[in-house]
Structure 1
Amino acid sequence: MEGEPPAGYRPNVGVCLLNSINEVFVASRLNLPGAWQMPQGGVEEGEEPRAAVIRELQEETGIKSAEIVAEVPQWLTYDFAPHVKEKLSRLWGREWKGQAQKWFLLKFIGDENEINLAGDGTEAAEFSEWKWMQPEQVIEHAVDNKRPVYEQVFKTFAPYINS
């Protein structure tokens, strides 16, 4: 794996997906209405982050028409709130401090009718609705513990987004 994630953090990938006018794809979580986020998901044992990001995007959004443009070189971490940590430890059968994320910038090259929040049917749906937002709006609507990661992601991808 490209540089190992810090110990105690669940390896995860994040998807910063841009449309043709450099707006960012976000979706509202089913379990947290009004919590908008960029797609993300766990890296499976032995899976490369580049493969995981394509798989996660497809699982969560149904999107197949996207190309990787860039990646954040280092793993970015955030800690789980105590009540979330407890719930996820039960779900995953392992205790993690939080998530270490490898973020990728992808360009959406498909048609919006490809977007399906039921995903590809391999996983339970996570999102209730989606939209395109400006990067500043994404940061504004992010849950508190993800905001610093999002700020770093947009800072790293600014040369691509602002071009």
Structure 2
Amino acid sequence: MISRENLPYRDCVGIALFNPAGRVFIARRIFTPGPDTSEVERPWQMPQGGIDKGEDPAAAAYRELYEETAIRSVSLLDEAPDWIYYDLPDEVLGIALKGKYRGQRQKWFAFLFEGDDREIDLSTETQPNCDPEFDDWRWEDLEALPDIIVPFKRPAYLKIVAAFKDIPKRLAAEAIQAS
């Protein structure tokens, strides 16, 4: 049996992408059955991905967002103050994440989407070496996310919501001032 304590966390970034109305982008993962999956069928999540060796986390966030969605029209709103961790469920430990990690250690960034929804392209045709990760997307209320995502990520998503909870109100206030 694999000991959880002997496995490291995988360093990753996560992106909370807000539209000007204060709603956040979520996408539905393409389910690929097999031994290296930690997901339930077709779960929703925010974009996330690994940090390359020597890569700055903020640069990784911009890169991952583009690779998964083709989105470039963004500006940085905020960064979560701490790394946010999640552990894989026991039944996929030693299998998911190529069997090398106990879970992920994520640095989360909040971006404002400044483009048009037509910019969003989940096909990854803009990234020929990347396989599509998502097959659908939508704008959702931030506080709804912990009840939408795969259950083992719920504690992490509660921390993400807490880190960025002021952003929807801030964006609403800015929209009122601009009108």
Instruction: State the TM-score, normalized to the length of structure 1.
Output: 0.88
- In structure 2, distance between residues paired with 1:84 and 1:68: 34
Larger radius of gyration: 2
Identity of aligned residues (%): 38
SS in 2 for 1:73: coil
Q: Deviation of residue 125 (structure 1)?
A: 0.5
Cα distance in 1 for residues equivalent to 2:169 and 2:41: 30
- Residue 166 of structure 2 is aligned with which of 148, 159, 162? 159
User: 2-side partners of 1:37 and 1:133: how far apart?
Assistant: 11
Matched, 1:51 2:62: no
Letter in 1 for 2:47: P
Contact in 1 for aligned 2:10/2:101 (Cα 8 Å): yes
1:98 aligns with 2:103: yes
- Paired with 1:152 and 1:97, the residues of 2 have a C-alpha distance of 19
For residues 3-82 of structure 1, the aligned pairs below 5 Å read 8-31=8-31, 32-82=40-90
- 2:118 corresponds to 1:110: no
Q: After TM superposition, which residue ranges in structure 1, 4 or more long, deviate above 4 angstroms?
A: none
Distance in 2 (alpha carbons) for counterparts of 1:118 and 1:85: 30
User: What's the RMSD between the two structures over aligned residues?
Assistant: 1.6
> What's the TM-score once normalised by structure 2's chain length?
0.80
CA positional deviation for 1:136: 2.4
State the Cα distance separating 1:14 from its structure 2 match.
0.3
Distance in 1 between the 2:55 and 2:46 partners? 21
- On the 8 A contact 2:94/2:102 being kept in 1, the answer is no
**CA deviations over 1:123-158 (Å, ceiling 9, x no partner):** 111111000001122221111111111111111111
Mark the runs of 5 or more structure 2 residues left unpaired by the alignment.
1-6, 32-39, 171-179
